[in-house]
Amino acid sequence: MRLQDGSRCLLRTLGPGDRDFLLACFAGLSPGSRRLRFCGVKRELNERDLAVLAAIDGHDHLAIGAIRLDARGMPCEPLGVARCIRTAPGADSGELAVEVIDVAQRRGVGTALLRVLAEHARAAGICRLRCEVLAANAGMRALAARLGARPRWRGGAVLEYEHLLGGDESPAVRGGWRAAVARYRTWMHPRPRSFGARRSRVLARRAAQSARRSRAQSKAGPGSVLRPGAMSACPTTRSGVIPG
């Protein structure tokens, strides 16, 4: 297949003997890309990491690799990996992970990898792909959204996406990711409150407190003194502003 920059690449299934391929892909990731891929600092792959990533059996653990081809059509550089690990033996869902080296990002490699992986996963009896993505990982969010994955906010800075392999999603589901991203943007970058808005809230709170005092005094009768805590029964929030 051809990438967006015109270069050609080959997609093929990976196996336990592709440890060097996996190491080369990891070496092509910048520290920032590694943090997004592994959700934390990852300076190197140790033997335990390699044992897990290379335990590819074609049924419970699937992996597809992308390789750049030179002018003669010969493999010359690993570009990325997409993998799916079944959540449990016999389960119809799998955990998804995609990594593309920095120099090949935003060229269609991730989309191609994920589409081929989805075909192999469906053939292996996996109907759902899910993955957890950091909110800062705009590339993976966009990739999941293009394929119709359904987002869910897990709390903190993590989104969980689920992609159903059985068919096309409805328009409402396809548009759900936009609402989820909008909620994240509001959470991560709240709009600054202007001085005028704060002043209006303070004045409204004072007016509400004054009105409650007047009502309480009128009920107590002329000359009465309000007991401490008499205002606590008023329907207010902790800040003193009447809800609504």
Query: What tens digit of pLDDT does each residue of 80-117 get?
Result: 999 999 999 889 999 999 999 999 998 999 989 988 99
| Residue 92 belongs to some domain of the structure | yes
Please state whether the predicted TM-score (pTM) of the whole model is above 0.75.
no
| Residue 206 belongs to some domain of the structure | no
Nearest alpha-carbon partner for 156 in 180, 188, 115? 188
| Residue 118 belongs to some domain of the structure | yes
Count up the domains in the chain and report the number. Answer: 2
Q: Of 90, 108, 126, which residue is a domain's last?
A: 126
Residue 1 has pLDDT above 50, yes or no: yes
Looking at the structure, do residues 108 and 174 belong to the same domain, yes or no?
A: no
Looking at the structure, do residues 170 and 75 belong to the same domain, yes or no?
A: no
Q: Of 97, 126, 155, which residue is a domain's last?
A: 126
| Residue 111 belongs to some domain of the structure | yes
Q: Of 106, 126, 146, which residue is a domain's last?
A: 126
Q: Which domain holds residue 138?
A: 127-197
Q: Percentage of residues in the chain with pLDDT exceeding 90?
A: 39
pLDDT for the residue 198: 66
Report the pLDDT averaged over residues 20-36.
93
| Residue 64 belongs to some domain of the structure | yes
Looking at the structure, do residues 43 and 121 belong to the same domain, yes or no?
A: yes
pLDDT for the residue 7: 83
Other C-beta atoms closer than 10 Å to the C-beta of 63 total 27
CATH number of the domain enclosing 116? 3.40.630.30
> pLDDT tens for residues 53-81?
999 999 999 999 999 999 898 988 999 99
pLDDT for the residue 96: 92
Q: Is the pLDDT higher at 149 or at 159?
A: 159
Residue 137 has pLDDT above 50, yes or no: yes
Which residues make Cβ contacts (< 8 Å) with residue 130, sequence separation at least 6? Answer: 87, 93, 94, 95, 96, 160, 161, 162, 163
Looking at the structure, do residues 3 and 82 belong to the same domain, yes or no?
A: yes
Per-residue pLDDT band for 24 (boundaries 50, 70, 90) equals very high
DSSP string for 102-119: GGGTTTTHHHHHHHHHHH
